[in-house]
Amino acid sequence: MQKINSMLWLCDVCLDEVHNNGGLRYEIESLKQSVSVEIGKLKEMFPTQYENNSQNLNHPKNLKSYAQAAGEVVIIKPKNTDQACSKKTFEAIQKYLNPTSLQIGINKIRKVKDSGVVIKCNFKNKIEKVKSAVEKKLSKSYNIVSLHLKNPSIKVADIGNEMSPKDLINCIKKQNGFLNDDDSNISLLEFFKKSSLNSWL
């Protein structure tokens, strides 16, 4: 049986492309140069915007702590849970709470146990508005409680003996832009010592 050359299975267009590979390479290079020229023109036309965007990418300013990212919440539960259900609580909130008139954004609203409902907002002042509005209309029949989330505890392991507690705090702050200069945000609770490395909690 005669051996069939694999090139015969290619269509005419593909064969031309294979033979003109050098031409394709030239076209790609010229396209890359054209794109570079256009980018240069845009940089000249909008220099400040380009610089600001680069700074925002490299140095994000709007970083949030864990508690800020998690948001602020208020829990609304009926005082008499015998004949209550989360659906009734939800309907009562919908009736008396108007986010548009209060100029607030509600991130999440969900049903919880004991016929309760949890409302979540991004900021403390917004959740206080929610709490105040709900208390005016529903405080006779419902318990309204703000829940403030705590910052998490973390363990930092394998720290060299030469690093002091103050150095460790400075390193954590440097790597987490949302932390301010106030030492009260970070506290070192316990110290575990090994032969060559330390751990802090």
- Give the per-residue pLDDT at 109: 86
Single residue among 14, 42, 59 that ends a domain in this structure: 59
Same domain for 53 and 70, yes or no, is no
Place of tokens 């220099």: 47
The total number of residues written for the chain in this structure: 201
- Give the per-residue pLDDT at 1: 42
Count of domains in the chain? Answer: 3
- Give the per-residue pLDDT at 179: 66
> What range defines the domain where residue 42 resides?
1-59
- Give the per-residue pLDDT at 4: 44
Same domain for 32 and 75, yes or no, is no
Digit-by-digit pLDDT tens for the chain (201 residues) are 444 444 444 455 565 655 555 566 777 888 888 888 888 777 777 665 555 554 544 444 555 555 555 568 888 899 887 777 888 888 888 888 888 888 888 888 888 888 889 888 877 788 888 888 888 888 888 988 887 666 677 787 777 777 788 888 888 877 776 666 554 567 777 776 665 556 555
Pairing of strands 142-147, 116-121: unpaired
- Cα separation, 86 vs 70, in Å, equals 23
Same domain for 71 and 135, yes or no, is yes
Same domain for 134 and 160, yes or no, is no
Same domain for 55 and 73, yes or no, is no
Same domain for 2 and 49, yes or no, is yes
CATH code where residue 113 lies: 3.30.70.1510
Same domain for 36 and 102, yes or no, is no
- Give the per-residue pLDDT at 42: 76
Nearest to 138 by CA among 124, 119, 113, 123: 119
- Give the per-residue pLDDT at 3: 43
Same domain for 71 and 143, yes or no, is yes
Same domain for 4 and 53, yes or no, is yes
